[in-house]
Amino acid sequence: MAMEQQSCAQESSTFQQFLQGKPRIILGSASSSRRGIMDELAQQYSFMYEVATADIDEQAIGCRQGDWEELVLLLAKAKASAIIAKLTAAAGCQPPQGFLITCDQVVVCNKTVLEKPTSAEQARAFIRGYSTAPASTVGSVVVTNLSTGQQCEGVDTATITFHTIPDDVTEQLIKEGNVFYCAGGLMVEHPLVSPLIKDRQGSLDSIMGLSKRLVIQLLPAATDVDS
């Protein structure tokens, strides 16, 4: 535990040093959950960031039957490529500068990959499944140094076990609609859902789609690849 705390303190110090240069930081995500997590980091470390979106067809990329870590990294890199193309077009003659953060996440339950539900029926099936089997989140973070094109990447996993999720909770979540923007329809931060968590292995931010630990590690690392 002491070594882990020392490592976290060192990573935090390195991140603060990185921020002293006031780098341009771009979060490449349309997710409100990820923006909320990034807001927390920005407030904690006193930095500003921009938001860009990839707007790609995620279902057309990668294999859902293969390596889940490979899949989420592939999707995060595809998002980076799409956003870089937009930034380059907007910049005109000058190449874009700064550091781009892109992410992806899948939920795995009963050895099946669950992405964003596309219908109420699918969302209902996903959420009901969490009453009978643990759900694991597999989330990637890719940081691209826009000046060099170099990338640093990481994957974080977490596992959640739920008590039985009542049908009325499931129906309320579907009615509100936010489950359709979350991998697996999983919303552990929702006030109707959080009391139903029996056990959690991993950080809440990772489960919600953006590992703070990986952001803090990878942004300075993406600077180092340019030196």
pLDDT value of position 5:
58
* Domain range 2-224, CATH class: alpha beta
The residues of the chain scoring below 50 in pLDDT are 226-227
Predicted confidence (pLDDT) per residue in 203-220, tens digit: 999 999 999 999 999 999
pLDDT value of position 227:
39
pLDDT value of position 226:
43
Predicted confidence (pLDDT) per residue in 127-149, tens digit: 999 999 999 999 999 999 999 99
Domain regions of the chain by residue span: 2-224
Rg (CA), the chain: 18
CB 139 within 8 A of CB 69: no
Q: Read off the pTM.
A: 0.88
